[in-house]
Amino acid sequence: MVGEGAYSKVYQAVCKDTGEVVALKNISKKYTDSQYFQQEVEAMLYIQERGGHPRVITLHEHFEDGDSYVLILDFIRGGELFDHLIEMGAYSEMDASRIVREVASALLFLHGIGLVHADLKPENILLTTTRRGDSVVKVADFGTAIFVGNDSDTTVTNKNKLQPEKVYGAPTPAYSPPESILRTSPIQPSMDMWSLGVILFIMLTGCHPYDVSGESTDVEIEDRIKDTKYKIPINDPGIAGHLSKSAKDLITKLMNRDCTKRLTAYQMLQHPWVQGE
For 198-245, how does the pLDDT look when each residue is reduced to its tens digit (9 = 90+)? 999 999 999 999 999 999 999 999 999 999 999 999 999 999 999 999
Q: Is the pTM of this model over 0.75?
A: yes
Give CA separation, 157 vs 143, 151, 160, 162, in Å: 18, 11, 6, 10
Q: Binding-site residues for ATP, please?
A: 25
Q: How far is residue 32's CA from residue 143's CA, in Å, rounded to a whole number? A: 12
Range in 23-37, 76-90, 92-106 with the lowest mean pLDDT? 23-37
pLDDT of residue 117: 96
Number of structural domains in the chain: 2
Residue type, 184: T
Asked whether residue 64 carries a pLDDT value surpassing 90, the answer given is no
Domain boundary among 58, 74, 90: 74
Q: Are 138 and 56 in contact (CB under 8 A)?
A: yes
Q: Which residues pair with 25 in a beta bridge?
A: 10, 71
pLDDT of residue 38: 82
Q: Quick one: 106 and 123 in the same domain?
A: yes
pLDDT of residue 162: 58
Q: Quick one: 41 and 143 in the same domain?
A: no
Instruction: Find the mean pLDDT for residues 28-55.
Output: 86
Residues 6 or more apart whose CB falls under 8 angstroms from that of 180 comprise 168, 169, 170, 187, 191
pLDDT of residue 79: 86
Q: Quick one: 145 and 36 in the same domain?
A: no
* Range among 15-29, 128-142, 211-225 with highest mean pLDDT value: 211-225
Q: Quick one: 248 and 178 in the same domain?
A: yes
Range in 30-34, 36-40, 71-75, 232-236 with the lowest mean pLDDT? 30-34
Range in 23-32, 41-50, 58-67, 242-251 with the lowest mean pLDDT? 23-32
DSSP state of 277: -
pLDDT of residue 154: 43
Which residues constitute the domain of residue 67? 3-74
Q: Quick one: 196 and 152 in the same domain?
A: yes
Q: Quick one: 22 and 156 in the same domain?
A: no
Cα 58 vs. chain centroid, distance in angstroms?
Answer: 14
Q: How far is residue 55's CA from residue 126's CA, in Å, rounded to a whole number? A: 9
Asked whether residue 22 carries a pLDDT value surpassing 80, the answer given is yes
**pLDDT interval class at 103 (50, 70, 90):** very high
Backbone phi and psi for residue 40, each to the nearest 5 degrees, phi listed first: -65, -45
Q: Quick one: 183 and 256 in the same domain?
A: yes
Q: Binding-site residues, please?
A: 25
Domain boundary among 74, 105, 127: 74
> Which one of 65, 74, 119, 141 is the catalytic residue?
119
Instruction: Find the mean pLDDT for residues 85-104.
Output: 94
Active site residue 119: yes
Q: 18-26 — which CB contacts under 8 Å span 24+ positions?
A: 21/75, 22/60, 22/72, 22/73, 22/74, 22/75, 23/72, 23/73, 23/74, 23/75, 23/76, 24/70, 24/71, 24/72, 25/70, 25/71, 25/72, 25/73, 26/65, 26/68, 26/69, 26/70
Residue type, 150: N
More confident residue, 264 or 68: 264
pLDDT of residue 11: 87
Instruction: Find the mean pLDDT for residues 133-144.
Output: 88
Residue pLDDT, tens place only, 69-89: 888 999 988 889 998 999 999
Q: Are 125 and 80 in contact (CB under 8 A)?
A: yes
Asked whether residue 156 carries a pLDDT value surpassing 60, the answer given is no
Average pLDDT over all residues of the chain: 89
Domain boundary among 74, 108, 127: 74
List the CATH number of the domain containing 51.
3.30.200.20
pLDDT of residue 1: 64
